[in-house]
Amino acid sequence: MEDAYARSATEVLDLFGVDPAQGLSEDQVAQHARLYGKNVLPEERRAPFWKLVFKQFDDLLVKILIAAALVSFILALINGETGLTAFLEPSVILMILAANATVGVITETNAEKALEELRAYQADIATVLRNGCFSILPATELVPGDIVEVSVGCKVPADMRMIEMLSNQLRVDQAILTGESCSVEKELESTRATNVVYQDKTNILFSGTVVVAGRARAVVVGVGTNTAMGSIRDSMLQTEDEVTPLKKKLDEFGTFLAKVIAGICILVWLVNIGHFRDPAHGGFLRGAIHYFKIAVALAVAAIPEGLPAVVTTCLALGTKRMARLNAVVRSLPSVETLGCTTVICSDKTGTLTTNMMSVSKICVVHSVEHGPVISEFDVSGTTYAPEGIIFDSTGTQLDFPAQLPCLLHIAMCSALCNESILQYNPDKGNYEKIGESTEVALRVLAEKVGLPGFDSMPSALNMLSRHERASYCNHYWENQFKKISVLDFSRDRKMMSVLCSRKQKQIIFSKGAPESIISRSTNILCNDGGQTVPLTADIRAELESRFNSFAGKETLRCLALALKSVPTGQRTLSFDDEKDLTFIGLVGMLDPPREEVRNAMLSCMTAGIRVIVVTGDNKSTAESLCHKIGAFDHLVDFSGHSFTATEFEELPALQQTLALQRMALFTRVEPSHKRMLVEALQRQNEVVAMTGDGVNDAPALKKADIGIAMGSGTAVAKSAADMVLADDNFATIVAAVAEGRAIYNNTKQFIRYMISSNIGEVVCIFVAAVLGIPDTLAPVQLLWVNLVTDGLPATAIGFNKQDSDVMKAKPRKVNEAVVTGWLFFRYLVIGAYVGLATVAGFIWWFVYADSGPKLPYSELMNFDTCALRETTYPCSIFDDRHPSTVSMTVLVVVEMFNALNNLSENQSLLVISPRSNLWLVASIILTMLLHILILYVHPLSVLFSVTPLSWAEWRLVLYLSFPVILIDEVLKFFSRNSNGGVRFNFRFRRNDLLPKREVRDK
């Protein structure tokens, strides 16, 4: 029932045909169950496992690799090859792809947990009226029209319309749904407002929220997917995970690389078309197949098989570092996304604030001898932990607060006129509340004031266990005073009273709205000496002035406390007893901002990251909090920077665009508004991080480029998020952003390293094919180099140290290329040298090496006709493993030197030495040991078609390899000299050689 909030209770009951005194009959229950369905959030049909597996192979580079593996396998069968070496290459390729697919399937499976955990917020049981009798039934059996009774501690089992109040008031904590920091008072009257949000529907109890005060009956109006929780579920299902900027760039690079590879492979095949008929091949078809094998080897060389593994490993290393900073990453690519975040949409309650009401101000009358003198006290501590200090107006700490009469009686009243419970949870390691947040705040205040008459106070309290400390002082007062009668809070009186007895004296303690308490008070307790004096008009005016200041300027939630002595023997309380009270004091409380938030938000702004506070609270409360945080001091006022959801929706499209660019505060929002805000910002090409902790935040967390949940938040929010802040600390986001930027820089470095290495391999094979010399490297050797030799140093590059000014730079643009034009040219030069050096090593062995045949170069170019003519050397010389071993070793060593080049993008090795990254040095040593292992251990040398090298051959390898450092030093010099780069970019007319896509795919 969509508009139950706008209808009277009678209308709603008539619509469902239910008698509020009898409830539904069995026939009606069966009929309504058929009409409206069950009260469960149905499980979503998951994609079949085989579909998830096949989805992992839907990538162009992966398809090319699969094709290469199949071709290698087929060619091996055609040529009649047998044994391990024949099928090694396709087997290794398929193993790599299987490993990547496994990781992908696990990630996809975990993504469904958010929807499952949403069901945890559905109530298990409900007290239902049917056939004139109340019974406790499973909440899943509820149907629209059922009459349900709720009371303190109940989890609301479905969306329900209030029909009867069974106590003076009913208050519900709906923070998980709306983000409101305070519980909401419910009423019976219908709502006539237009454009209503959840907060305006004061006669509706929402599924999954918790009753914190009172008792009432309500009629079910929505079950299952037709509830507030159901709409959140639908929103989450409709939300597609955003592709991260790095993933987009890697996808673009992969597509670009695939096209280049295909072009080069076809080119190599066509260049050699004249050699198809060479007698050595045994016919045109066999010649075509031979050069097709070369093209396949070229594809294997060009595709960086290890890239996905290295990217994953580098991001995983980043997650470990971030975990030490209390940022637990659930989605690896989101580590990098943090680095280009431009806007953080921060939930207020529980993120910028503690989501724990806390007394921060106390106001009492000090004396009245020379006119009213008001004393104000500040209270530290922002959580439910009974740890805090009370300061006087000069900022001096009170060592024994309980020695002051007004503070002592405030502690008594706070402990006794209270229905809440404060306890320590050892499993979670924190203090928890049961009941109303404001009442728990008073219990915590009583603990901070301490007890009177003990010289060891308050240090003695610190010796207690946390479980005992939680309510030690409260229990002391409850043992000192015996509660006789309670007069519950009511909306018309706006106060609550308890009658207590102690040592043949009976006292009424009252608390409530300041205007109610002050109007019923005739006397006042003075803090100077503890005497009681009449409450004069001057004192009343001064108290009302302080109350208005607390509630208005400081937006504190204010309560006044009072007491009254009554004759011994009174056993009950009536409304008439709540007069001629003695006013004790005024307390102001708020959901306090976290202490570290101010510096964290200023750091975000220094890094060029805009912060938008998003909350379900009202505008004035939120604006006051933002002023307290201090991060918005640069705004003279919030005009044009603060909008309610309704105000924003009513703006014309152009003004909405302008408002988004200036917005700092977004209030009175519900889940759909949060998601709408994220989408609107993303349309402006912003990279959006959304923080939150409630169920209501889940759709927006999932939609955002990076969702950041609080560690103390709901399981739904954590599952929908990419990252969880274990310490709930907004400041952790700043450290995570810095880490994300550093990870991106390192990611770029190893991508460039792998590009230059693969370019070298392509050049090697292409040049050999063009020159007509034998294959310099076998496919299995290329795979070894790509996986092991490239992979280990590339991974170690991820340990490069973070730049000192990483948080002083503005966020990089989403469409910034991973490899720009100048850098692509640099690594093209490096790659060309790597390839040419590899071919040079191969040719050297045949033409110049003392251990080689010393053939004329022309003989090497005509190797394929050797069997058809008379030669002075045996044709088997072309099957010798020495030349390919020299080539492979040159390729490995030159890439090790190239890895050292990637310690920094532009800084010389003379400035940043290899000692700055010992992991890289270790990986180079390990790689060389592995390479030596396959050269000198017989079974491995046979497998990889290599052979041991002599010292002369090793010396040649070093001569050919070392110049790569000198070449890159020259290129780095030109990079540091901006003119060189500018001239190059001007010639190329654009500095991004990779294809551009729309910034955001829709």
Q: With 90 as the cut, is the pLDDT of residue 437 above it? A: no
Has residue 462 got a pLDDT over 80?
no
| Lowest mean pLDDT, pick from 272-286, 497-511, 557-571, 633-647 | 272-286
> Residue 447: what pLDDT?
93
The amino acid at residue 11 is E
- pLDDT band of 563, cuts 50, 70, 90: very high
The larger pLDDT score, comparing residue 31 to residue 86, is at 31
**What's residue 115's pLDDT?**
38
When mean pLDDT is compared across 38-47, 411-420, 875-884, 950-959, the lowest value belongs to 38-47
pLDDT value of position 107: 46
Which pLDDT score is estimated for 116? 46
pLDDT at 248 over 60: yes
* pLDDT score of 713 more than 70: no
As a whole number of Å, the end-to-end CA separation of the chain is: 34
CA-wise closest residue to 201 among 215, 217, 184: 184
Residue 260, pLDDT > 50, answer: yes
In the predicted model, is pLDDT for residue 121 greater than 50?
no
SS3 222: strand
What pLDDT was estimated at residue 148? Answer: 94
More confident residue, 976 or 818: 976
pLDDT for the residue 376 = 94
In this prediction, residue 716 carries a pLDDT of: 65
pLDDT of residue 79: 62
pLDDT for the residue 993: 34
Burial class (CB in 10 A: 0-12, 13-18, 19+), 337: buried
Average pLDDT, integer, range 35-51: 70
**What value does the mean pLDDT of the chain take?**
81
User: Does the pLDDT value for residue 411 go beyond 90?
Assistant: yes
Q: Which of 12-16, 463-467, 600-604 has the lowest mean pLDDT?
A: 600-604
Residues 6+ apart with CB under 8 A from 616: 178, 179, 180, 197, 198, 199, 349, 667, 668, 669, 670, 696
Query: What integer pLDDT is reported at residue 74 of this predicted model?
Result: 74
CA distance 110 to 106: 6
pLDDT, residue 180, reads 63
Q: Mention every residue, 6+ apart, whose C-beta is less than 8 A from residue 678.
A: 345, 688, 690, 700, 703, 704
Which of 125-139, 230-244, 307-321 shows the lowest per-residue confidence on average (mean pLDDT)?
230-244
- DSSP structure string for 633-701: TT-S--TTTEEEHHHHHHS-HHHHHHHHHH--EEES--HHHHHHHHHHHHHTT--EEEEE-SGGGHHHH
pLDDT greater at residue 513 or residue 339: 513
Q: What is the pLDDT of residue 241?
A: 52
* In the predicted structure, residue 715 carries a pLDDT above the cut 80: no
Weakest-pLDDT range from 25-39, 320-334, 470-484, 519-533: 320-334
Environment class of residue 769 by beta-carbon count within 10 Å: exposed (0-12), middle (13-18) or buried (19+)? Answer: buried
H helix or E strand, kind and range, residue 599? helix 597-606
The whole-number pLDDT of residue 338 equals 79
Catalytic residue among 146, 159, 173, 347: 347
Measured CA angle at 933 (ends 927, 934), to 5 deg: 100
111, 351, 348, 346: which is closest to 242 by C-alpha? Answer: 111
pLDDT tens readout for residues 735-757: 788 888 877 777 777 777 877 88
What is the reported pLDDT for 998? Answer: 34
Greater confidence (154 vs 505) lies with 505
Per the listing, tokens 């009409």 go with 35
The pLDDT score that the predictor gives to residue 997 is 33
Q: How confident is the model at residue 120 (pLDDT cuts 50, 70, 90)?
A: very low
Looking at residue 57, its pLDDT comes to 66
* Residue 218 pLDDT: 95
| pLDDT band at residue 81 using 50, 70 and 90 as cut-offs | low
Q: 633-664: per-residue pLDDT in tens? A: 777 777 888 999 889 989 998 999 999 999 99
CB atoms within 10 A of CB 320: 9
For residue 787, the model assigns a pLDDT of 66
Cβ atoms of 517 and 345 within 8 Å: the answer is: no
Residue 416 has what pLDDT? 95
> Residues 183-208: pLDDT tens digits?
788 989 888 776 777 778 889 999 88
**Sequence-ordered alpha helix ranges (H) in 388-536:** 405-416, 437-449, 466-469, 472-480, 514-520
Split at pLDDT 50, 70, 90, the class of 244 is low
Instruction: Say yes or no to pLDDT of 583 above 70.
Output: yes
In 3-state terms, the chain is what percent helix, strand and coil (to 5)? Answer: 50, 15, 30
Check if 864 is active-site.
no
Q: What's the pLDDT at 631? A: 64
What integer pLDDT is reported at residue 52 of this predicted model? Answer: 64
The per-residue pLDDT for 122 is 46
Report the pLDDT value the prediction gives residue 980, as an integer from 0 to 100.
42
Q: Which phi and psi (to 5°) does residue 790 adopt?
A: -75, -40
For each of the domains in the chain, give its residue range(s) and CATH number, in order of start: 1-238 (2.70.150.10), 246-317+738-979 (1.20.1110.10), 342-353+594-728 (3.40.50.1000), 359-590 (3.40.1110.10)
Name the most confidently modeled range: 527-541, 782-796, 967-981.
527-541
Q: What integer is the mean pLDDT of 465-473?
A: 90
pLDDT at 750: 75
Three-class SS of 525-567 = EECCCCCEEECCHHHHHHHHHHHHHHHHHCCCEEEEEEEEEEC
* Pick from 450, 480, 445: nearest CA to 464: 450
* Residue 227 reports pLDDT greater than 70: yes
> Is the predicted pLDDT of residue 417 greater than 70, yes or no?
yes
Which has more confidence, 691 or 730?
691
pLDDT digits (tens, 9 = 90+) for 331-341: 666 776 777 88
The predicted structure's pLDDT at residue 472: 92
Mean pLDDT check: name the lowest of 43-57, 150-164, 394-408, 721-735: 43-57
In three-state form (DSSP H/G/I as H, E/B as E, the rest C), the secondary structure along 911-938 is CCCHHHCHHHHHHHHHHHHHHHHHHHCH
Q: What pLDDT, on the 0 to 100 scale, is given for residue 506?
A: 93
Dig out the tokens for 844 from the structure.
């050297």
